[in-house]
Structure 1
């Protein structure tokens, strides 16, 4: 039987590659995004798309409950939604922190909480959070302060969830890429050496491994995908 996977941020540069990978690997994909329609997949028997404000806890919780009621079992959740902002200690005020907190932490936590509880009840599940290199490396993070701080919180969330789930087959992973080779990043950094970046398809392959039976024995993982950046 095909595993059922929720993918947030499905219309982004990373999300689109992950959706395509998981559909090609015969998963049932439940995708979410801010846009009213899916940008990259329009007609596939194993795919459904929902517009969702992940920063709204009530809306997100209701969505998760509806998906559980409809599909009975959610096997995995790839929480890819997030955002980026420049700014060092001089330019990062409280509002900037709040905005990045909402985009990077709330969007993950509000989905992870009900999904984690569901997975604990069913005795199986995989949650994947997207961290970042700047969240772990002060040199890389000092000029993206709010982004680095709020992404770093996802590592602690995963640690706490894995401690809660210890002894079960429910696992929360964090994937920490350096710069991802997306169209938006190429436009924003036209002079960068993109050969050092991480391709979305490489991350998609890793996520497939995490959710597959091949990754069944792994616990408490943090995957650093830095390439040569």
Structure 2
């Protein structure tokens, strides 16, 4: 268990803060003393201040696909708090089905949010973290960006229709390699850039995840948002300063590399 003072004095921005993983990450960071801005395109359901967390969580509106919106959000944080220490890019969308029936508009939507949005947020945070000489960027990837997808359509085509598709996988693979590029660019400035690649996580979005694929998880269950948040917290901690460019798998053994 981390100390409630671990991140005291640190300021964090979590995109996708209204979702299950974003909420868990925001609460984990706040629970360790960080001032957290939980950003989402809709802030109505984002985590708010309260509970036992030693630092508050503030709701922030943000469309990660719009560069001007991202710059405004980061600038507002800098103006208010004087710094930005931790950026966690959780904002993303899932996309289901086969490559054969994937619409061009759906491909563009997934890339704009999952890949472009992550890059725009990293790009906006970089100069501030360089100037501070300290920063932690943690991007959310996915096992789907590594394993070519969980479904086995040669056994059962229905698995593909109910699981993440090629657009989602390509967007997350892009996040993984982006993480490696930025890690090298920022290492000499005291800024680490890592990714967390979850496997199947129990949530509203995965309620239709095929039982046949659940049965392939060696751990015997789906993961939780809190387990993903614990990995993010580890990479965001000051003690993780010699870890950069890493993609940390949190997948119950469904994919090992």
TM-score for both structures, normalised by structure 1: 0.91
Matches within 5 A, 1:1-229: 1-43=8-50, 46-140=56-150, 143=160, 144-185=165-206, 187-189=207-209, 191=211, 192=214, 195-229=220-254
Question: What is the aligned residue count?
Answer: 228
| 4+ aligned runs moved over 6 Å, structure 1 | none
Consecutive unaligned residues in structure 1, runs of 5 or more? none
Shift of 1:40: 3.5
Shift of 1:139: 4.5
| Rg (Cα) greater in structure | 2
Shift of 1:43: 4.1
- Kept after mapping to 2: 8 A contact 1:135/1:141: no
RMSD: 2.1
Shift of 1:122: 1.5
Which one is further off, 204-213 or 160-169? 160-169
Consecutive unaligned residues in structure 2, runs of 5 or more? 1-7, 153-159
- Kept after mapping to 2: 8 A contact 1:141/1:148: no
- Kept after mapping to 1: 8 A contact 2:13/2:36: yes
